[in-house]
A and B are shown apart, each in its own frame.
Chain A
């Protein structure tokens, strides 16, 4: 019980205090790292107690259930919280070692981590919105980080589009409260089945649009490339490795958890939109030359896979969606962090990320692709399997096109520039991430059982 509270309070208080300090000083940067480490430690302790199939609930303020806000940690929430916290930690360490450029950067990253932890560990629909805004507002400020004035336009577009998404989400929450009379997720899930179908479908569509915007799915993706292309690598890694998890988690929790009937009804639509996302993202990624832009389009494609797996549904589909979301977050963080570095071993780390993105063994991304193929076979759809294969092949093309461009030709562009290797500690972060991705690919058992546990929360069946 205390671990759940600590996981939230530690970074929260830390983040607020750090806002007062000058984040450009190295000492304050390391304090921020300590705050995120505290959060990660508490989450690990929580995960040990919650996994494989338990859950932990607190009602804030000691109120009775039904009045107070419910915090609830189950396997799905803990897995996503752990993943996001880890990615945030890696990006923060990377940036602190590389030299922070703005006063508020460390504090904002810590607050973003708090918001993410809160929304993954809440059992209350409205509380989800509050933490969601905490994370998003930090992200709006972070996108403008780097003091490049060209980034301001992207930050503005990012903020406006995502705010419209947030308010749509709020409207959907209000509608959900009106038809079910409660905000607690468990009760909502129980009462949603009796709601009039018209209202339920409308609510489900609004939630889908809100989360689709966050995740950058095909028709709602237009803000994404400009934002990712202009930010610093650490911020791009946080956006695509941690913040995008909100979209994946939201679709899983609200779609499969709270509105399963509507999800089933719309499964064809989800698969079609997901497929469009996969093809569109991959094709545009192949045609780009700028590394950050290429990775941004690739993020659109990768989000499509999660949606396809969700659309297929069932124990296999849901487990694949969770697994793919985890692996994609890790490989994207690795690619963004290592892509901007130079020096020995960095190219290797990048290659591991590229392999993982394309779904080649021994990198961990292979597991995600394999799980997706399983869902395709389960669904019995040839078109789906062909699509998955083409998406993977295109991912291979653009990932290694990028590798060739950055690390083979790059050396010849400007020898004097390439000779300046990034500092060893900065490279070490990417290398550690790459080793983790490799290790997960070589010893996949823990990750597979984690994603099965997480998916079991949603379908309630055997793991």
Chain B
């Protein structure tokens, strides 16, 4: 059973990691959702006992571990909040860039950096010249 859980969690994590590395921002978010689900799966799998629902155990069968279920619930809630936040950031990227591609985002950033550097360049050259004059 542990092996099945481990394989399932590993597969989900792997698929999620693959999606995170794609070019489409929505897929990146979907990949994060999958990775968070694989973490939840590991939390559930780490339970010490398996059996009946832990609420009001009747004593016939061993109840399952309640603690991991509480942890999994908390992790799911946090995962939900984080997904909402990521989608909000992606929405803002789309609103300002009109694109959902990682490549586009990187290109925009590179252009911005180049612009900033170019804006500094003449000033720095002038400074170098002035300093050389000062030394003379």
Binding site for B on A (CB under 8 A): 126, 130, 133, 137, 140-141, 144, 149-150, 152-156, 159-160, 163-164, 167-168, 170-171, 173-175, 177-178, 181, 183, 226, 289-290, 409, 412-414
Instruction: Decide if A167 touches B71 in the complex (CB within 8 Å).
Output: no
Further pairs besides A183-B67, A413-B127: 9, Cβ < 8 Å: A126-B71, A130-B74, A152-B92, A153-B105, A153-B109, A155-B89, A160-B28, A177-B46, A409-B127
Tell me the dominant secondary structure on chain B's binding face: helix
Distance in angstroms from A293 CB to nearest chain B CB is 10
Residues of A contacting B120 with CB < 8 Å?
289
Known A-B contacts A160-B86, A163-B82; A175 and B92 likewise in contact (beta carbons under 8 Å): no
Residues of B contacting A159 with CB < 8 Å?
82, 85-86, 89
Distance in angstroms from B129 CB to nearest chain A CB is 12
Instruction: Report the bound CA distance from A153 to B47 in whole Å.
Output: 38
Residues 16 to 49 of chain B near chain A (Cβ within 8 Å): 17, 20, 25, 28, 32, 35-36, 38-39, 42-43, 45-48
Distance in angstroms from A461 CB to nearest chain B CB is 33
Instruction: Decide if B89 touches A144 in the complex (CB within 8 Å).
Output: yes
Instruction: Decide if A141 touches B85 in the complex (CB within 8 Å).
Output: yes
Instruction: Decide if B74 touches A152 in the complex (CB within 8 Å).
Output: no
Known A-B contacts A163-B32, A170-B75; A137 and B81 likewise in contact (beta carbons under 8 Å): yes
Look across to chain B and name the residue whose beta carbon is closest to the beta carbon of A290: B116
Query: What is the interface size of chain B, counting residues whose CB is below 8 A from a CB of the partner?
Result: 41
Instruction: Report the bound CA distance from A168 to B123 in whole Å.
Output: 47
Distance in angstroms from A279 CB to nearest chain B CB is 25
Distance in angstroms from A206 CB to nearest chain B CB is 10
Look across to chain B and name the residue whose beta carbon is closest to the beta carbon of A169: B39
Highest count of chain B CB atoms <10 Å: which of A159, A168, A174, A181: A174
Distance in angstroms from B131 CB to nearest chain A CB is 8
Highest count of chain A CB atoms <10 Å: which of B39, B86, B108: B39
Known A-B contacts A150-B108, A170-B39; A164 and B96 likewise in contact (beta carbons under 8 Å): no
Instruction: Decide if B46 touches A178 in the complex (CB within 8 Å).
Output: yes
Instruction: Decide if A171 touches B42 in the complex (CB within 8 Å).
Output: yes
Instruction: Report the bound CA distance from A160 to B38 in whole Å.
Output: 15
Instruction: Report the bound CA distance from A168 to B130 in whole Å.
Output: 54
Known A-B contacts A156-B90, A183-B67; A175 and B127 likewise in contact (beta carbons under 8 Å): no
Instruction: Report the bound CA distance from A149 to B93 in whole Å.
Output: 8
Neighbour of A174 across the interface among B20, B25, B42, B78, CB < 8 A: B42
Instruction: Report the bound CA distance from A281 to B43 in whole Å.
Output: 36
Residues of B contacting A414 with CB < 8 Å?
123
Distance in angstroms from B104 CB to nearest chain A CB is 10
Residues of B contacting A289 with CB < 8 Å?
120
Instruction: Decide if B46 touches A153 in the complex (CB within 8 Å).
Output: no
Residues of B contacting A141 with CB < 8 Å?
85
Could you list 13 A-B pairs, sorted by A, with CB under 8 Å?
Answer: A137-B85, A141-B85, A156-B86, A160-B28, A160-B86, A163-B35, A164-B20, A167-B36, A167-B38, A167-B39, A171-B42, A174-B46, A178-B45
Highest count of chain B CB atoms <10 Å: which of A140, A163, A290: A163
Look across to chain A and name the residue whose beta carbon is closest to the beta carbon of B105: A153
Instruction: Decide if B43 touches A152 in the complex (CB within 8 Å).
Output: no
Look across to chain A and name the residue whose beta carbon is closest to the beta carbon of B79: A167
Distance in angstroms from B38 CB to nearest chain A CB is 8
Known A-B contacts A160-B20, A160-B86; A412 and B36 likewise in contact (beta carbons under 8 Å): no
Distance in angstroms from A401 CB to nearest chain B CB is 13
Instruction: Report the bound CA distance from A177 to B47 in whole Å.
Output: 8
Residues of A contacting B20 with CB < 8 Å?
160, 164
Known A-B contacts A137-B82, A164-B20, A167-B36; A150 and B46 likewise in contact (beta carbons under 8 Å): no
Neighbour of A156 across the interface among B43, B93, B108, B116, CB < 8 A: B93
Highest count of chain A CB atoms <10 Å: which of B38, B74, B106: B74
Residues of B contacting A150 with CB < 8 Å?
108-109, 112
Instruction: Decide if B32 touches A156 in the complex (CB within 8 Å).
Output: no
Instruction: Report the bound CA distance from A111 to B123 in whole Å.
Output: 42
Highest count of chain B CB atoms <10 Å: which of A155, A171, A413: A171
Look across to chain A and name the residue whose beta carbon is closest to the beta carbon of B81: A137
Instruction: Report the bound CA distance from A412 to B82 in whole Å.
Output: 46
CB-CB contacts of B33-76 with A at 8 A, as 1s and 0s? Answer: 00110110011011110000000000000000001100100110
Q: Does B97 contact A (CB under 8 A)?
A: yes
Instruction: Decide if A164 touches B75 in the complex (CB within 8 Å).
Output: no
Neighbour of B89 across the interface among A126, A133, A156, CB < 8 A: A156
Instruction: Report the bound CA distance from A173 to B130 in whole Å.
Output: 60
Distance in angstroms from B53 CB to nearest chain A CB is 18
Distance in angstroms from B27 CB to nearest chain A CB is 12
Residues of A contacting B108 with CB < 8 Å?
149-150, 153
